[in-house]
């Protein structure tokens, strides 16, 4: 496969008046890369990531991921595409409070049609690899920020997505947990996982990315 991500002059305009959140952005990410998009708050980083994730639709241009142009997919097809191709980690974890760590992790596998038994085995393997096996039966409210983020990374990886996305993954954890998240993302990339992350944490970008791009006001900074 050539590029895993290809954006062609992508525009996102939330409001009819005023400047667009993205003003015609190109981006390619090749398999095996770890690309960090940096830039100040409001520069369009989350907008970009949400379009790549298929969580939102562009106002113009084309978003292609893993050889599929997302613009034309129906909501159902988009949801199916996401489950198979995208793992995503958010700043505030987005774990389900009423599920244990393990059940949070295995839910996407069950939604994708795995048996509970196979999903559970894979979930436990990931929780082990991420150093939170001992917390598998705990509910999110009982986990530290760093533990929640590692559980969220396990959930993002359970369906073995070709593309791992992360939006400010160290933005809500303390420095020690931030360093763990950085190490985790770097290890995953060194194991072959393609990563696209957006952050304004320079040490994260420098430590975890193979390439850094900078946005300003919805465009690439010169
Ligand atoms: N859902 C939305 N509705 C309207 N405006 C939005 C929405 N999301 C983001 N924006 C605006 O788009 C711009 C880019 O935001 P965002 O992509 O969240 O930036 P960043 O992640 O770099 O902080 C900002 O001006 C923001 O206010
Ligand atoms: Mg953001």
Q: Is the CB of 197 under 6 A from ligand 1?
A: no
What rounded mean pLDDT belongs to the chain? 95
The pTM (predicted TM-score) of the whole model is: 0.95
- Going from the Cα of 151 to the center of ligand 2, the distance in angstroms, rounded, reads 21
79/81 Cα distance (integer angstroms): 5
Q: Is the CB of 21 under 6 A from ligand 1?
A: yes
Q: Do 23 and 219 meet the contact criterion of CB atoms below 8 Å apart? A: yes
Over residues 151-207, the pLDDT tens digits come to 999 999 999 999 999 999 999 999 988 999 999 999 999 999 999 999 999 999 999
Over residues 36-88, the pLDDT tens digits come to 999 999 999 999 999 999 999 999 999 999 999 999 899 999 999 999 999 99
pLDDT at 69: 96
Share of the chain above pLDDT 70, in %: 100
Q: Is the CB of 46 under 6 A from ligand 1?
A: yes
pLDDT at 78: 95
- Going from the Cα of 185 to the center of ligand 1, the distance in angstroms, rounded, reads 25
Q: Does domain 31-43+73-212 have CATH number 3.40.50.300?
A: yes
Residue 144 pLDDT class (50, 70, 90 cuts):
very high
1 has a pLDDT exceeding 70: no
**Atom of ligand 1 at shortest range from CA of 14:** 4
Over residues 94-108, the pLDDT tens digits come to 999 999 999 999 999
Q: Is the CB of 42 under 6 A from ligand 1?
A: yes
Q: Is the CB of 87 under 6 A from ligand 1?
A: no
34 has a pLDDT exceeding 80: yes
**Closest Cα to atom 5, ligand 1: which residue?**
14
């Amino acid at each position: 496969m050539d590029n895993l991500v290809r954006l062609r002059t992508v525009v996102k305009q939330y409001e009819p008046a005023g400047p667009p959140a993205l003003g015609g952005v190109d981006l390619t990410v090749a398999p095996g890369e770890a690309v960090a998009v940096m830039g100040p708050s409001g520069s369009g980083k989350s907008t970009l990531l949400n379009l790549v994730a298929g969580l939102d639709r562009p106002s113009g241009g084309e978003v292609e991921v893993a050889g599929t142009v997302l613009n034309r997919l129906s909501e159902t097809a988009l949801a199916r595409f996401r489950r198979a191709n995208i793992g995503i980690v958010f700043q505030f974890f987005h774990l389900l409070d009423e599920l244990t760590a393990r059940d949070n992790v295995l839910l996407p596998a069950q939604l994708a049609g795995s048996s509970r038994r196979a999903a559970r085995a894979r979930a436990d393997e990931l929780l082990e690899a991420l150093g939170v096996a001992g917390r598998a039966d705990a509910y999110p409210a009982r986990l530290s920020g760093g533990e929640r983020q590692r559980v969220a990374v396990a959930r993002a990886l359970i369906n073995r997505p070709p593309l791992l996305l992360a939006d400010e993954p160290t933005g809500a954890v303390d420095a020690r947990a931030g360093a763990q998240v950085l190490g985790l993302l770097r290890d995953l990339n060194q194991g072959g996982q393609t990563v696209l992350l957006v952050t304004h944490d320079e040490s994260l970008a420098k430590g975890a990315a193979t390439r850094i791009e900078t946005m300003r006001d919805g465009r690439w900074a010169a």
